[in-house]
Amino acid sequence: DVKVTQSSRYLVKRTGEKVFLECVQDMDHENMFWYRQDPGLGLRLIYFSYDVKMKEKGDIPEGYSVSREKKERFSLILESASTNQTSMYLCASSSGDREAFFGQGTRLTVV
Amino acid sequence: AQSVTQPDIHITVSEGASLELRCNYSYGATPYLFWYVQSPGQGLQLLLKYFSGDTLVQGIKGFEAEFKRSQSSFNLRKPSVHWSDAAEYFCAVAPGYSSASKIIFGSGTRLSIRP
């Protein structure tokens, strides 16, 4: 069974903390994505990566950075967490047919 | 830039009634098109996808979608809904010219089922 695993289901962090969200896929996919999901706004792309060490900004990259040192792992970093980054974060991966496989999500609360 | 519009935020239909969820996309060439479903508390699951060939695509759970190039639409349909279809539905688009490309999602349509 194909799998995208996000390291945490729930996280509570304080304002100003540096936050790491980790995602691992076992399908040898080239592409990996980070989205945030908010009610009424759907899934908004933060960053995506099409190869190791390669990344491109999505629609809402401000306040975030990413790291992809190995093909199977894609990390999202909140440099200094703020309350407006409280959200559900979804990681996904895809190959040439563009079908995205999603993790279960990380619900992040910044207090 | 590519974009996806789902004009209906929330739809309520009676159990057994037919369903159509609308999706319009903005993209120059023929894109890959997808419908995903997210049941309450669950992850996103692919219902169906289209890139080429027959413009009427069959998916899982009895869903189908029709690609209409002239209208830039990819509407999702089901002839008879079940209470278990209550969920949020997302349309998505990805460029056809390169596999190293972003996948853009719409804002979603929440489907409620009236008993």
Encode pLDDT of B39-95 as tens digits: 988 889 999 999 888 899 999 999 999 999 999 999 999 999 999 999 999 999 998
- As given in the structure block, the two tokens for residue A54 are 């390669």
Contact A43 B43 (CB under 8 A): no
CB A85 within 8 A of CB A63: yes
- CB-CB under 8 Å, B44 with A99: no
Q: What is the mean pLDDT of chain B?
A: 92
Judge: A90–B44 Cβ closer than 8 Å, yes or no.
yes
pLDDT at B29 over 80: no
pLDDT at B107 over 90: yes
- Could you tell me if B75 and B65 are in contact, meaning their C-beta atoms sit under 8 angstroms apart? yes
Average pLDDT, chain A: 94
- Does the pLDDT at position B28 exceed 70? no
Three-state SS string over chain A comes to: CCCEEECCCEEEECCCCCEEEEEEECCCCCEEEEEEEECCCEEEEEEEEEECCEEEECCCCCCEEEEEEECCEEEEEECCCCHHHCEEEEEEEECCCCCCEECCCEEEEEC
User: Which residues 44-73 of A have a C-beta within 8 angstroms of B?
Assistant: 44-45, 48, 50-51, 56, 58-59
Task: Verify whether the Cβ–Cβ distance A97 to B43 is below 8 Å.
Answer: no
**Which tens digit of pLDDT belongs to each residue from A55-81?**
999 999 999 999 999 999 999 999 999
Percentage of chain A exceeding pLDDT 70? 98
Chain B nearest-CA distance from A18, in A, is 26
Q: How far is CA B7 from the centre of its chain?
A: 12
Which residue from A minimizes the CA distance to B95?
A98
How many angstroms separate the CA atoms of A36 and B65, rounded? 26
**Over 90: is that where the pLDDT of A108 sits?**
yes
**Tokens standing for A63?**
């306040």
- Token reading at A111: 């207090």
Q: Residue A42: which of B49, B99, B106 has the nearest Cβ?
A: B106
